[in-house]
Each structure stands twice: as structure tokens, then as C-alpha cells.
């Protein structure tokens, strides 16, 4: 026997998020060196054991699908034949992309969340 419900008119909201929703955010950014030099190295998030290579002329990196929280994002690499290190704290919020610039050899810029 089959039961078919037509037009049940339920207004109940789902208790679980849809498969296309994600309860996290993203970090995207670049590493900036004085004089616009190209860098070699990686950006790390020690708290999660993640690492991303710095790529392209703009020294870009990306960490998608991050759980919400505050993370220390650290560049470890080299510029002009010398080792370089710089860090900053980044806040990840649900549904937002935190765009950051890690400045090597100067003060760091704060992250700016974007929806």
C-alpha cells in the first residue's frame, strides 16, 4: 500500500542546513614585500596543521572551508635571497571571506571580512 501526501502545507523549517550551506568561511590573501618583489615560500596555519604555497606574481594564497575562529596566519619563506617571516591573526566567520595582506618587513594589516 502506498500513501501519497499532496499539498500538506507544512511551514516547518528544516532543522539541518541544506547540503549547499557551509558553517565556515575562507581566508584569501597575498604576501607583500617592499618593492613588490616576488616571494618564495608558504603560508601556514599552525592551529589546524594547514599549509598553502604562495603562488603567482601577487604572491597569493587561499584557505577555503575554514571552521570559524581566530587563526595565526604565518608566512615562512624568502625574498631577495634572505629568509623572511611575518604573521597576523585572522578571524574567520561563517559565510565570510577574510581577505588579508601579510606584509614582510613591515607592520601587518588587519583582516577585512567580506560577505
Where in the chain are the domains? Answer: 25-114
Q: Taking the model in full, what pTM does it have?
A: 0.69
* Domain range 25-114, CATH architecture: Sandwich (2.60)
pLDDT in tens, 79-104: 777 888 999 999 999 999 999 999 98
In this structure, the strands spanning 69-79 and 40-45 are antiparallel
At 36 the pLDDT is 75
Residue 62 near residue 52 (C-beta atoms within 8 A): yes
Q: What angle do CA 95, 96, 97 make, to 5 degrees?
A: 135
At 84 the pLDDT is 86
Amino acid at each position: 500500500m502506498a500513501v501519497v501526501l499532496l499539498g500538506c502545507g507544512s511551514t516547518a523549517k528544516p532543522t539541518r542546513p541544506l547540503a549547499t550551506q557551509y558553517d565556515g568561511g575562507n581566508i584569501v590573501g597575498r604576501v607583500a614585500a617592499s618593492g613588490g618583489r616576488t616571494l618564495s615560500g608558504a603560508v601556514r596555519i599552525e592551529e589546524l596543521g594547514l599549509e598553502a604555497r604562495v603562488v603567482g606574481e601577487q604572491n597569493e594564497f587561499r584557505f577555503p572551508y575554514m571552521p570559524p575562529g581566530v587563526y595565526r596566519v604565518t608566512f615562512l619563506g624568502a625574498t631577495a635571497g634572505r629568509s623572511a617571516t611575518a604573521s597576523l591573526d585572522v578571524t574567520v566567520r561563517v559565510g565570510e571571506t577574510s581577505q588579508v595582506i601579510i606584509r614582510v618587513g613591515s607592520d601587518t594589516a588587519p583582516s577585512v571580512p567580506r560577505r
